[in-house]
Structure 1
Amino acid sequence: MSNTLSALAAKARRIALASCLLASLAMLASPAMAAPFEFAPAPQNDLNRVYRVDKATGEVGACQFQLKEGGVGITICFPAGEGAGPQPPSDYLLMPSRHEREGGIFRVNVRTGEMSICYVFDDKVVCTPQAK
């Protein structure tokens, strides 16, 4: 009887270990674990603007700090406007140029090699059409 109990206990340990391994692998493969956004500063050295891109959809937004008269500053954010909205699903990144007076940023599609320039215009982020 003790051999049967030992065999059952060993089988239960193997099942528990396999379950833990499967759960760990599922967590590693989960898209929720991946960072959905990438952030990069505008290259302009006197502009405190940070751009954000959704890495899967290519949608671009931006935020910056603005002083308020007589008080604490505020964060101003600019939503996606013309050309900055969702693009075909892919892998998108932001790439600042090295031009110290450039307020815009490149949105690059690393799968296709296409690029566009995104910048703030009339309180929205706009992007040029993607090109290669």
Structure 2
Amino acid sequence: MRLVGPAAALSLALALGGLAVPAVAATYDFVPAPQTDLNRIYRIDRITGEVSSCQYGLQEGTIGVTLCFSSGEGAGPQAPGEFGLVASRHEREGGVFRVNYRTGDMSICYVFDEKVVCTPQTSPSPAVTTAAPSPAATPSVRPGTGASPQRP
């Protein structure tokens, strides 16, 4: 049976529909805490910057449990951006840096009272450049006033 008209168009659209779906980038990134004796991993939503964390925990009578910490103060969604997590190389550090690749803002996130908390997003102040002093502002150097003692 041959389809004609709108039915044919619908059939063709359904058949090609799987090919027309755009690839979607990963929504989350994951980074382990740098602390070498801590089995904690942090998760960040790449668009909202929301941070959470999970780690392995022992529980009697089981093979263990996954303990997860939801976002608390400062770790919730931020203004949309392009966020990531960066672990320092400090082997005793349990937290990670949340970075916004678009703005350069950073904060530190860590687990506190069974929640992930983050410091406020901030960025270093812009570098202050100093202009060379004008000739009028430059002190004049006279003979005999250098660092070496002068003989009479």
- TM-score with structure 2 setting the length: 0.68
Alignment RMSD, CA only? 1.9
Question: 1:34 offset after TM fit, Å?
Answer: 1.4
Is 2:91 the counterpart of 1:97? no
The DSSP-based 3-state class of the residue aligned with 2:21 is helix
Identity %: 61
The DSSP-based 3-state class of the residue aligned with 2:55 is strand
Please list every run of 5 or more consecutive structure 2 residues that lacks an aligned counterpart in the other structure: 1-11, 124-152
Larger radius of gyration: 2
The DSSP-based 3-state class of the residue aligned with 1:85 is coil
The number of aligned residues is 111
Q: Which has the higher helix share?
A: 1
Cα distance in 1 for partners of 2:90, 2:108 equals 13
Q: Which has the higher strand share?
A: 1
After superposition, the C-alpha distances for 1:78-126 in whole angstroms (9 at most, x for unaligned) are 0000000000000000000000000000000000000000000000000
Other-structure match for 1:85:
76
Please list every run of 5 or more consecutive structure 1 residues that lacks an aligned counterpart in the other structure: 1-15
Structure 2 counterpart of 1:92, one-letter code: F
Cα distance in 1 for partners of 2:85, 2:70 equals 16
- TM-score with structure 1 setting the length: 0.78
Residue from 106, 115, 130 that aligns with 1:124: 115
Is 2:97 the counterpart of 1:106? yes
